[in-house]
Amino acid sequence: MDKKLIFFDIDGTIYDHDKQIPASTKTAIRHLKEHGHHVFIATGRAPFMVSPVLEELGIDSFISYNGQYVVFEGEVIYKNPISAQSLEALLQHSETCGHPLVFMGEEGMRSSVDDHPFVHEGIGSLKVEHPKHDPSYYKGRDIFQVLLFCEEPDEPQYGHFREFDLVRWHERSTDVLPAGGSKAEGIKKVIEKLPFDREDTYAFGDGLNDLQMIEFAGTGVAMGNAVPELKKAADFITKPVDEDGIAHAVEALGLLA
């Protein structure tokens, strides 16, 4: 069959709930590559946080920071950093509200506070330790995403920041992205780089930050453990991640035919 561009979210899609990759997923992805498909990771995680997944699966192309940093076969093809002026205004407001931030750059991340339970809980769910304290980390370097640590009822306090989109990924935290930024925008940059059409794209995900990607892809696949909003938008709903969901979809969609 024709070669396709196939994009996989990590948490809840590639990773199961124990942050492990099911054996059936590894096999399915290996077979996809053997059939000549271009396989990408598409995640809200930072580039320095996806290395273990890339190495385990033998992948060297990825969309990170929810579309703000895109790599194809080891080459960076797109960057979309947040302006320092906007970051300074966000920091000042978050400090007034008592909400910590984590600034995420190309090679590292730093927290606006020295220690906070919300940061421990949110970052800890990714099996990552509380970042070091450096509230000025955004100065003089590119920042592609910010983690704002607050609960959902507190989000309206940030509604006046028109230059940002807030996408919740944890009950204690929401991603702060440049307005209009998404994994779908990252896919568009890949399509621009390669001779493929939108119809040639497949996307797999489970969370709210996958919504635009699932809607944009030629075929959007929601995991069986996906949030209801994503299932509603998907073209195909597969089994949960811990029930061989990716392998099931790859076979059902004829991607190895």
Residues 53 and 115 in one domain: no
Q: How far apart are CA 257 and CA 35, in angstroms?
A: 9
- Check residue 257 and give its pLDDT: 84
Q: Which domain holds residue 116?
A: 84-178
CATH of the domain at 101: 3.30.1240.10
Q: What is the pLDDT of residues 119-136, one digit of tens each?
A: 999 999 988 999 999 999
Q: H helices within the chain, ranges in order? A: 23-34, 47-57, 84-97, 117-124, 183-193, 211-216, 228-233, 245-252
197 vs 132: CA distance, rounded Å: 42
pLDDT tens-place string over residues 60-94: 999 999 999 999 999 999 999 999 999 999 999 99
65 φ, ψ to 5°? 50, 40
pLDDT score of 141: 95
pLDDT, averaged per 10 consecutive residues of the chain (257 residues), comes to 91 94 98 97 93 96 96 95 96 98 96 97 92 96 97 96 93 94 95 93 96 97 97 98 98 94
E-strand spans in the chain? 5-8, 38-42, 62-64, 69-72, 75-79, 101-105, 109-111, 143-149, 164-170, 173-178, 201-205, 219-222, 236-237
Q: How many residues does the chain have?
A: 257
The answer as to whether 257 is a domain residue is: no
Are residues 99 and 54 part of one domain? no
Q: Please report the pLDDT score of residue 136 as a whole number.
A: 96
The verdict on residue 99 lying in a domain is yes
CATH number at residue 14: 3.40.50.1000
Identify whether residues 235 and 222 lie together within a single domain: yes
Choosing from 9, 16, 165, 244, the catalytic residue is 9
* pTM assigned to the model: 0.88
pLDDT at 112: 98
Q: Is 210 a catalytic residue?
A: no
pLDDT on residue 126: 87
